[in-house]
A and B are shown apart, each in its own frame.
Chain A
Amino acid sequence: MKKKEQNDNINIIIKHDKQYGNQTIYFKNSPSIKSFYSIVGPKEGKGPYKKYFDQIVKDDTFGEKTFEMAERKFVETAIKGAIAKANFSINDIDMILSGDLLNQIISSSFAARTFDTAYLGLFGACSTMAESLAVGALLVDGGYFNNVVCSTVSHFSSAERQFRYPLELGNQRTPASQWTVTGSGACVLSANKKTKIKVKCATFGKVVDYGITDVNNMGAAMAPAAMSTALAHFKDTKRDPSYYDLVVTGDLGVLGSEIFLELMEQNGIKINNHFDCGIEIFDEKQETFMGGSGCGCSASMLNSYILQKMEEGEINKILFMATGALLSTTSSQQGETIPGVAYAVAIEREG
């Protein structure tokens, strides 16, 4: 009997009504972004978007003994901040979804120790903000949870130790490199219909590898992933970039953005409203070379400037697409190429 059932399942091809194309999911109940919170380090706090961040920490060790412990405190503060801004307590939150760049995502997991709620750790490297939003929206839209927190964090000094050279070595940064943002962002996704900013759909990316091996040039490694997800999104939704006020990418940086826009043009899609968080977060005088990077880059920009402007009604529709380079130090030491992934989330303001 059981075997027959299984066979029947194989034969029936179900196209779920929430799925748009191959990679895109449409959220019928449109989970809303109830609150958002951003916290950044001193360098980001001197950048062009300083007035939009909720909190700027003057000392990037945040009073902790190590940079890793500081990073943990950043994400903890962002999650607490977002919950407080929603006028919630931790009892109202059903789950925290978070990820970061350190081995075994210790910043998120260790921060989750302090919260009395369920936790889902995610790893999508610098794409984690979009990934957590997409997964969080799934949980809320499906009616499984009422309120979830989506967050992510990165820290310049812990990322240098993790991926490049420890600061003690005093190495010079190469010209194609980006500057990992010290910062965190968190937002509360809610089934509550009263809030205006809604998550409408999400496109889950494929892992793409164009054979880049230079760990100091992540933008070039991630641009093809951004292209893959963007193409899938526009194909699945039958939209073109002008549907959105902004097509936001996470941290492609100067070089990565150029490659991304060129790749899109080669595929017949011209994006005139592109906004890269990595390029925007610092100004040229801050000598970050190719711009900012890291999970905290797109997270702190989305949960400050972008969502604030949406709340005020200056921006109404965005495609938030964050890209991640899925390498580890072991894989790059063994000479392997860098795979990338991108997740896209459409956020719209209603009313």
Chain B
Amino acid sequence: METFLSYLAVFGVGGFICLLGQILISKTKITSARILVLFLLIGVVLEAFNIFTPIADFAKSGITVPIVGFGATLARGVIGAVKAKGLLGVFTGGLEATAAGIAAAVGFAFLFSLIFRPKTKKD
């Protein structure tokens, strides 16, 4: 039962974030790149006001996997680095904290571009 509830929380929150994105795509003229940045900034704000961690405790991957989680990690990295190293942390902290995600994205993108070719969208 506990497992079921935790799945429900993860997919419920994750699905809700996707729903917001779909509404933005369907009902507004905002381009996908801007929607992406918007969600990232929401993550930054949530982390800055210490709201992200309580949500993440509840929704787990439901909020950390979407780009909101990336934004929060970015903000957390900067806050931590500023505390440790001073103002220089503004420039180093974000990338340090998200290095794994970025390196993985670049690495896998390269790898898969070697293996696969793009295909035309289906009907």
Contact = CB atoms under 8 A, between A and B. Distances in A.
A216 interface: yes
Contact of B26 (A167, A175, A214): A175
B9 to A, nearest CB: 26
B29 interface: yes
A287 B29 CA distance: 19
A167 B32 contact: no
Interface stretch (B39-47, B83-91, B92-100, B115-123): B115-123
Interface in B16-50: 25-26, 29, 32
Contacts of B32: 165, 169, 171-172
A28 B120 CA distance: 45
Nearest to B30: A174
Nearest to A176: B29
Nearest to A66: B117
Contacts, number: 32
Interface bin, chain B: 10 to 19
Contacts of B119: 167
A285 to B, nearest CB: 8
Contacts of A168: 113, 118
A174 B118 contact: no
A174 B26 contact: yes
A207 B32 CA distance: 30
Interface in A7-54: 41, 43, 46
A157 B118 contact: yes
Contacts of B118: 157, 166-168
A260 interface: no
A172 B22 CA distance: 9
A287 B123 contact: yes
Nearest to A171: B32
A172 B120 contact: no
A348 interface: no
A182 B120 CA distance: 10
Interface residues of A, number: 22
Contacts of B113: 168
A173 B118 CA distance: 16
A165 B26 CA distance: 17
A43 B123 contact: yes
Most A CB within 10 A of own CB, among B26, B113, B121: B121
A46 B122 CA distance: 12
Contacts of A237: none
Nearest to B27: A175
A60 B25 contact: no
Interface in A163-194: 165-169, 171-175, 182
B123 A286 contact: yes
A173 B123 CA distance: 12
A172 B119 CA distance: 14
Contacts of A60: 120
Given A41-B120, A172-B32, 11 more contacts: A46-B123, A156-B121, A165-B32, A167-B120, A167-B121, A171-B32, A173-B121, A174-B25, A174-B26, A174-B29, A286-B123
Interface of B: 25-26, 29, 32, 113, 118-121, 123
9 contacts: A43-B120, A46-B123, A67-B120, A167-B118, A167-B120, A171-B32, A172-B32, A175-B26, A182-B120
